[in-house]
Amino acid sequence: MPVGDIELLNMFEHVLRLSRVDETQSVAVLKSANSNPRLVWAAMEAGQKLGAKVYAVELPSFNHPSAMGFDLTGYVGETALTGHQAAKQALSAADLIVDTMLLLHSPEQSEILGGGSRMLLVVEPPEILARMLPTEEDKRRVQAGAKKLSAAKRFEVYSKAGTELLCRIGQYPTVTEYGFAEEPGRWDHWPSGFLFTWPDEGTAQGKIVIDTGDIIFPFKSYVQSPITLEIKDGYIRKFSGGFDAEYLENYMQTFRDPEVFAISHIGWGLQPKAQWSALGVYDKNDSVGIDGRAFYGGFLFSTGPNTEAGGTRNTACHMDIPLRRCDVLLDGEAMVRGGDIVPADQAVSDMKPAAQTLPERSCMR
């Protein structure tokens, strides 16, 4: 349902406060032709209400000749900021950048963050921003998971559908997303609520079964028949299944780059307000699909680049694939069991069990 201007402004004020914006701060609002003007307006107004020095940086449209579709997560790495030193300097001068155009996975974003600027991505429509307005509780829950993930050395995933994935971790950092950016150099996304790391290079082994009902981004569709991915030494080596398997393999092959088949970030969702079912009630270009990526107890894996983590794999194809009903184990300790979050410090105290986590449908191992 529509969110009015007053509510939208109040929401931005709330999130900028969580991001420690005050009269000592400068806030740059990054925008382009694809930006939602209401989000740009609200970010500018809310920053001023908090006393910050606010300015906008507008970049021209960007389209890569080989990019397919309108989803900005479908072709990553190059953006309108690529090679644009003047704009990069203008953004680097800000304490906080509100990104309404989506710079994710660009080397320029990493350089700006390295200088100490904070960055908050805000591209979802106001209705989704309102439903998942971030809280300190979201941060606490995600940080509890990060404490475990950053200390672990072995990451395992299993499911009744047939997933058996094992990899070592620790080579790359743990990344948290909880919806606001309050520390120097921090990147976050409002709304959000999940955490992840990357497998050590060449260590991911086993198979992943993308089951009926699991989601593939940027397709933004539910899989209709299981897809089996055979993983060896960190890469997908074989696709098998029906039409869905053929379609996924064909799409990834269009990039003509063997690096697209690498396993990229792996982690689990901790946002109880994100809904697996949400994708069915939005048009594809309404949303980037944070619901599907962050729903509580989902196992999210991806393919392609690892430049966000400081790696050298800079490839344009990035698939995010959340799976339901998995077991996720760190050094043998269950973080997720059959789609249910296990550790008490990652639990949501007042949340009723969801249908997808009923015991009889759980994966009991």
Chain contacts with Fe ion (rule: CB under 5 A):
302, 320
Closer by beta carbon to Fe ion, 159 or else 302 = 302
CB of 197 to Fe ion, least distance (A): 12
CB of 167 to Fe ion, least distance (A): 17
Distance from C-alpha of 228 to C-alpha of 238, rounded to nearest angstrom: 8
CB of 302 to Fe ion, least distance (A): 4
For 89, the enclosing helix (H) or strand (E) is: helix 85-92
Closer by beta carbon to Fe ion, 104 or else 181 = 104
Per-residue b or e along 165-186, where b marks 16 or more CB atoms closer than 10 Å to that residue's CB: bbbbbbbbebbbbbbbbbeeeb
* Cβ contacts of 303 within 8 Å, gap of 6 or more: 236, 252, 260, 261, 262, 263, 264, 317, 318, 319, 321
Closer by beta carbon to Fe ion, 211 or else 320 = 320
- Angstrom CA distances, 49 to 21, 26, 44, 96, 189, stand at 10, 13, 9, 15, 22
Closer by beta carbon to Fe ion, 191 or else 338 = 191
Look up tokens 């971030």; give the residue: 134
Spacing of C-alpha 342 from chain mean position: 22
For 329, the enclosing helix (H) or strand (E) is: strand 326-330
For 159, the enclosing helix (H) or strand (E) is: strand 154-159
CB of 319 to Fe ion, least distance (A): 8
Kindly state the DSSP code that residue 114 receives in the 8-state scheme.
H
Look up tokens 């209400």; give the residue: 49
For 49, the enclosing helix (H) or strand (E) is: helix 37-49
Closer by beta carbon to Fe ion, 139 or else 265 = 265
CB of 227 to Fe ion, least distance (A): 18
Closer by beta carbon to Fe ion, 298 or else 338 = 298
Q: What tokens were used for 247? A: 């379609």
CB of 2 to Fe ion, least distance (A): 29
Closer by beta carbon to Fe ion, 302 or else 306 = 302
Closer by beta carbon to Fe ion, 106 or else 302 = 302
CB of 176 to Fe ion, least distance (A): 14
Closer by beta carbon to Fe ion, 95 or else 308 = 308
91, 28 in Cβ contact below 8 A? Answer: yes
Closer by beta carbon to Fe ion, 95 or else 320 = 320
- What is the per-residue DSSP string for 193-259? -EEEE-BPTT--EEEEEE-TT-EEBTTTEE-SS-EEEEEETTEEEEEEESHHHHHHHHHHHTT--GG
Distance from C-alpha of 293 to C-alpha of 33, rounded to nearest angstrom: 25
CB of 173 to Fe ion, least distance (A): 15
Distance from C-alpha of 283 to C-alpha of 263, rounded to nearest angstrom: 28
CB of 265 to Fe ion, least distance (A): 6
CB of 223 to Fe ion, least distance (A): 17
* Cβ contacts of 260 within 8 Å, gap of 6 or more: 252, 303, 304, 315, 316, 317
